[in-house]
Structure 1
Amino acid sequence: MKYYELVITVVNKLVFGMIIMGESVNGRKNLMEKLKDSF
């Protein structure tokens, strides 16, 4: 894996984490349902 690919992966995880943390309780439930549907 190239260095910049690693950086992009880390940034994506941080952004995704911030989105999850920033969601309200209802938003988090909806997000979990979407994740379940995707699996």
Structure 2
Amino acid sequence: TWLDMSTWGKGVAFVNGFNLGRYWKEGPTKTVLPARTAASGGR
């Protein structure tokens, strides 16, 4: 699972109540891969 934030502005990302963190289009990060999801099999 991943999030493409290239068209998003500024805010906080939550998935199923889990806080992934803040994002801002000015930063270098455009996608987020939650480590907990990746470690549990990538559901």
Which interval holds the TM-score relative to the shorter structure?
under 0.3
Instruction: Answer 1 or 2: which has greater helix percent.
Output: 1
**TM-score, normalized by length of structure 2?**
0.21
User: More relative contact order in 1 or in 2 (CA 8 Å, sep 6+)?
Assistant: 2
Instruction: Answer 1 or 2: which has greater strand percent.
Output: 2
